Amino acid sequence: MPSEVLLDVRDLVKDFGGLRAVNKCSLSVKRGTITGLIGPNGAGKTTLFNLITGFYKPDSGHVFFRGEEITGLPPHRIFHKKLCRTFQIPREFKQMTVLENLMLVPAGQRGENLFCSWFLPRLVRRQEAEIRDKALAVLEFVNLIHLKDEYAANLSGGQKKLLELARTLMADPEMVLLDEPGAGVNPTLMKQLVANIEKLCYERGVTFLLIEHDMDLVMNLCNPVIVMSNGEKLAEGTPQEIQRDERVLEAYLGSQYRAAVRE
C-alpha cells in the first residue's frame, strides 16, 4: 500500500456570506489511490474542489500538493503543478472540434506566443504535429477517436464526460479531481469510464479524488472513501467500513434508510 501523502488539505474554511460552505475541513489523499469523496448535497464537496484548484480563495487554512503549499494560487498555476480537474457539468469548448479541445491543453506550447507564431512558424508547426499525435493517442484511449473532427457541442452527455477526462490526460497529470464523472452517463459508457480510471491509476500511477453520488460506483472503484458533511470530514475508511459507519448512515443515507437497513 503506497503511503506518501500527495494532497493534503488542512483546516480549510470558506464562507459565502453567512453560510459556511467548508468548515475547517482537513483531509489527505495518498499517492496512487482512487479516493472517493461522498456526502449529502450541500456538504461542500464541489466547493472543496474549487478551493483546491484555485477557483475560490479560502478564508483560512492550507492546501499542500506534493508537500508544496498551493493555497490561493491562480487556477492556471495550480494546473501547471499537474493537479487537474473535471467539472460536474461538462465545460467543453463548444465551437471547437474534439481534437482542438484536446490540443489546447498541453503546457509550454511555443505557438501560444504570438511572436513565435509569426517568426518561428516551423518550430510551432513541428510542436503542433507532436501535440496532434498525443491528442490522437488520448482520443484512442478514451474511445472518442471517431469523433475527433466533430464539434464538441454535438457530443452526448456521456461523451462530454469522457472528453473532460481526455482533456486532463493531455496534461500528464499526477492527480485528477473528478466531479461526478458518472452523472448522466449511460451504463456502457460508465463501464468504459471506470475501466479508464482504473487503467490510468494502476498503469500510469495517476491519483484520483472523485466526487460521486452513485454508490455502486464508489464502493467498487474507490478505496479509501472520505465522507463529508456540513463542510467537514465526517469519516474515512474502506468502502466496507464506511458502509457500516453509523454516523455516515445518519448523515448521508438518512435516518429512514438506516431504519430500513436494521429491519
Partner 1 sequence: MELSRVVLGILSGLLVAALVRALAARWWPRARWSVHLSAGLLVGVLAGAWVSQMEGGYLAYLVTFCIMAGIYGVFSLGLNVQWGYTGLFNIGIAGFFALGAYTSALITTRKPPPEVWFYFKQAIGLDQPFLVGLIGAALVCGLVALLLGLLTLRLREDYLAIATIGVAETIRILFNSEEWLANGSQGLIGIPRPLACLIQNPPCAWLPDWAKPLVAGWTARDLDAIYLVIVVLALAALYWAVEQGIRSPWGRVLRAIREDEMATSMAGKNVFGFKLQSLVLGAMIMGIGGGLYAHYMRSISPDVFVPLFGTFIIWAMVMVGGSGNNKGAILGGLIVWGIWIGTTFLTDLISPLLGAISPELPARAPYFRYLLLGALLVLVILLRPQGLLGEEKQVSKL
- The set of cell numbers assigned to 155 is 457530443
CB atoms within 10 A of CB 92: 20
> What is the DSSP code (8-state) at residue 155?
S
Neighbouring C-beta atoms of residue 217, cutoff 10 Å? 20
Q: How many residues bind partner 1 (CB under 8 A)?
A: 41
Q: Does 128 bind partner 1 (CB under 8 A)?
A: yes
Candidates 95, 187, 246, 263: give the one binding partner 1 (CB under 8 A): 95
The yes or no reply on residue 91 touching partner 1 (CB under 8 A) is yes
Q: Does 56 bind partner 1 (CB under 8 A)?
A: no
Q: Contacting partner 1 (CB under 8 A), which of 13, 145, 171, 194? A: 171
Instruction: Look up residue 147 and give its three cell numbers.
Output: 469523433
* β-strand pairing of 175-179 with 207-211: parallel
How far apart (Å, rounded) are the C-alpha atoms in residues 123 and 54?
33
Q: Which stretch binds partner 1 (CB under 8 A): 104-112, 212-220, 229-237, 240-248?
A: 104-112
Among 2, 42, 74, 254, binds partner 1 (CB under 8 A): 74
Can you tell me which of 2, 121, 205, 254 binds partner 1, judged by CB under 8 A? Answer: 121
What pairing do the DSSP bridges indicate for beta strands 34-38 and 207-211?
parallel
Q: Is 157 in the site for partner 1 (CB under 8 A)?
A: no
- The C-alpha atoms of residue 1 and residue 224 are separated, in whole angstroms, by 11
Residues near partner 1 (CB under 8 A): 53, 55, 74-76, 79-80, 84-85, 87, 91-97, 99-100, 103-105, 107, 109-114, 116-118, 121, 124-125, 128, 131, 149, 151, 167, 171
